[in-house]
Amino acid sequence: MKLTIFAATGGIGRLLLAQALAEGHEVTAVARRPEAVSPSPGRVLAADLATADAEDLVPAVAGADAVLSTLGGRSRDDTGVATHGTEAMIAAMRVTGVTRVIIVSAAPIGTVPSPARPHPPRHDPGDNGLMRYVLGPAVKRVLRGHYADLARMEDALRASALDWTIVRPPRLTDGPLTRIYRTAHGQNLRGGTSVSRADVADYMLRAARDHADVQQIVGIAQ
């Protein structure tokens, strides 16, 4: 397949890139710092997704079978990058006729208000009591701006006519690739408190390869 990977130097992005190349896919990597992309896929494009517009991204997505993005803010200064970058991505895909896109969000987003979902459910059906009443609220307070950005990003995807898949992992770890993980549509996983970045990357490639879970929000956990 011809794949475009956005945020190819991030925690999931670099593993996604390595796995895609190991499977023999033709990859275009997009990163703010192209010199940091490793391993090199041969085609690397520079783009700052906090400011890029559709015209900037057309060369990156043109001809792709699927676009995969692990875009998200790494600090408070990056709040808004997921929404802006994804909206530019969507617009570039419309211009080029590319339809398949798989994007990483986060497990708590189902209960985070957004312009399109001002009154989301108070609790995710997959969360246990500890997550609902202690850990979840605490994490959402600390990462309020980051999660609001991801919620708006999800709004943009759902409003598009693209063949999107939104992946919502819980706590990410640096554990090994196991390919032993669970998924669920529209909710988090019971007892699923963590998943390795390598396994999230594996799922994203599988979803692209099999055209699986189109227009689905997918919870993932070990």
> How far is 134 from 39, CA to CA, in rounded Å?
40
pLDDT given for residue 76 in this prediction: 60
The model's pLDDT over 10-34, given as tens digits with 9 standing for 90+, comes to 999 999 999 999 999 999 999 999 9
What is the dihedral angle through the alpha carbons of 7, 180, 214, 148, rounded to the nearest 10 degrees?
Answer: -50
Q: What are phi and psi of 62, to 5 degrees?
A: -55, 130
The model's pLDDT over 169-187, given as tens digits with 9 standing for 90+, comes to 999 999 999 999 999 999 9
Q: Using only C-alpha atoms, what is the Rg of the chain?
A: 16
Q: What are phi and psi of 111, to 5 degrees?
A: -115, 15
Identify the band that residue 72 occupies on the pLDDT scale cut at 50, 70 and 90: confident
Tokens of 141: 């307070």
pLDDT given for residue 2 in this prediction: 98
Tokens of 221: 């956990």
CA 14 from centre of chain:
13
Q: What is the mean pLDDT of residues 76-84?
A: 82
Structural domain that includes position 64: 2-221
**Residue 29 CB contacts under 8 Å (≥ 6 apart), including other chains:** 5, 8, 17, 37, 40, 41, 43, 44, 45
Identify the band that residue 62 occupies on the pLDDT scale cut at 50, 70 and 90: very high
- Secondary structure class of 161 (helix, strand, coil): coil
Give the residue among 168, 158, 203, 166 at the shortest CA–CA distance from 188. Answer: 168
Q: What is the mean pLDDT of residues 140-150?
A: 81
Number of domains forming the structure of the chain: 1
Widest Cα–Cα separation across the chain = 48
9 near 31, Cβ under 8 Å? yes
> How far is 192 from 215, CA to CA, in rounded Å?
22
CATH number of the domain bearing residue 210: 3.40.50.720
